[in-house]
Amino acid sequence: MTKLDTLVEILRDAPDEVFIQPHNVPDPDAIASSLGMYYLLAQRGIQKLAIVYDQEIEKANSLRMLEMFKVPMIQAKDALTLGTEDWAVLVDAQKGNANITDLPTDEVASIDHHEYKGNQGYRFEDIRPGVGSCSAIIAEYFFENNIAVPQGIATALLYGIFMDTDNLTRGVSDLDVNMFYRLYSMSNIDMIVELKGNDITVNDLELYAEAFKTVEIYDELAFLKLRGVNDSLLGAAGDIVVSVSGVNIVIAYVQREDGIKLSVRSTCAKAKANDLVRHITGGCGVGGGHDNMAGGFIPLSELHPNRVTDTFIKHRAISFYESCNG
């Protein structure tokens, strides 16, 4: 029995609908994984199936993906039939993480590549933190079960692997490379070219321009502050700054109404992104992720009124960095 067989067998007992749910503000890897999982489950006869996500899709390439691949995703607020009798299969996400809304559904399964959050009582879990993308895990489900991958889905999964591994350079595992290789010949590369040409909007460009002016460098560390609500740009802006010669660690953050959202990048083995973000948010927020990329959040209520946020973040990051060098 394959993993997919096991999952399908469990889902056959679903009392009502089965919702596939990626993390909030879905990125290309989350969208591709949801689409792949939707196809697999539909193909295996699971009916009453939908993809639901919370919040907004912000990035231009993610929005373009929805159109190009006709991804049947709906926002949680529009999922009128969603209720406690329904089941959810989480993809590219785990229950209890700061990046996913706990909807009324019963989360019966998780397929993910983020840091393991511990036993959350799923009936099925396939969580592989060593893999660079969730798309690679979903692609393996197709091949393991000899299910032909339609061109659109192959292309979406290829793009998901591409984006989450920063063009096969970040946190790449053998599985990412093998799946990339197998999907490549089935994919439509013109579509990838088009997606790459839809990375950012004109409005994003303005936010980037403003954010890059805030960059402060301290040795291998760089700080970047973004304005505005579109916090999905955080990681992308961080990726650009980490490519600056001499910079190996980036702390990008945005002050929102409800708190501070952080995104960390590191190409430095001794100062890992997940350890750094946990150090910054220690005792006042949540943080986690991979060695190379991580994220965190500090709620407004935890922010000390007499401590300037920028200074607080810089102080914590620098003290962590110095301790790694010490």
Q: Which stretch binds Mn ion (CB under 5 A): 55-63, 128-136, 216-224, 285-293?
A: 128-136
Q: Lay out the site mask for Mn ion across 49-68 (x = CB under 5 A, - = otherwise).
A: --------------------
Nearer to Mn ion, 29 or 204 (CB): 29
Residues 258, 108, 156, 166, CA torsion sign:
positive
Min dist CB 29 to Mn ion, Å, is: 4
* H runs (alpha helix) in the chain: 3-11, 28-43, 60-68, 134-144, 151-164, 174-184, 189-196, 202-213, 233-242, 273-281, 309-325
92 binds Mn ion (CB under 5 A): yes
Nearer to Mn ion, 290 or 316 (CB): 290
Min dist CB 164 to Mn ion, Å, is: 4
Q: Return the closest-CA partner of residue 92 out of 177, 178, 156.
A: 156
Cβ(69)–Cβ(115) under 8 Å? no
User: What phi and psi, each to the nearest 5 degrees, are found at residue 249?
Assistant: -135, 130
Nearer to Mn ion, 30 or 49 (CB): 30
Please report where in the chains the tokens 């590369």 appear, as a residue. Answer: 189
Identify the three-state secondary structure at position 149. coil
Residues 158, 163, 169, 173, CA torsion sign:
negative
Min dist CB 212 to Mn ion, Å, is: 25
Nearer to Mn ion, 33 or 105 (CB): 33
Min dist CB 92 to Mn ion, Å, is: 4
Single residue of 79, 111, 131, 134 touching Mn ion by CB under 5 A: 134
Min dist CB 282 to Mn ion, Å, is: 25
Min dist CB 252 to Mn ion, Å, is: 18
Nearer to Mn ion, 26 or 221 (CB): 26
Kindly determine how many residues on this chain lie close enough to bind Mn ion according to the rule CB under 5 A: 4
Min dist CB 304 to Mn ion, Å, is: 33
76-82: long-range pairs with CB below 8 Å, 24+: 76/52, 76/101, 76/103, 79/19, 79/50, 79/52, 81/17, 82/17, 82/19, 82/52
Nearer to Mn ion, 92 or 107 (CB): 92
Residues 248-307 binding Mn ion (CB under 5 A) are none
Min dist CB 25 to Mn ion, Å, is: 12
29 binds Mn ion (CB under 5 A): yes
Residue nearest to Mn ion (CB): 29
CA distance 74 to 41: 17
Nearer to Mn ion, 125 or 164 (CB): 164
Q: Return the closest-CA partner of residue 96 out of 124, 119, 113, 75.
A: 119
164 binds Mn ion (CB under 5 A): yes
Cβ(317)–Cβ(276) under 8 Å? yes
Nearer to Mn ion, 171 or 225 (CB): 171
Distance of CA 318 to the CA centre of its chain: 26
Please report where in the chains the tokens 């993480």 appear, as a residue. Answer: 97
CA distance 285 to 273: 16
Q: Which positions touch Mn ion (CB under 5 A)? A: 29, 92, 134, 164
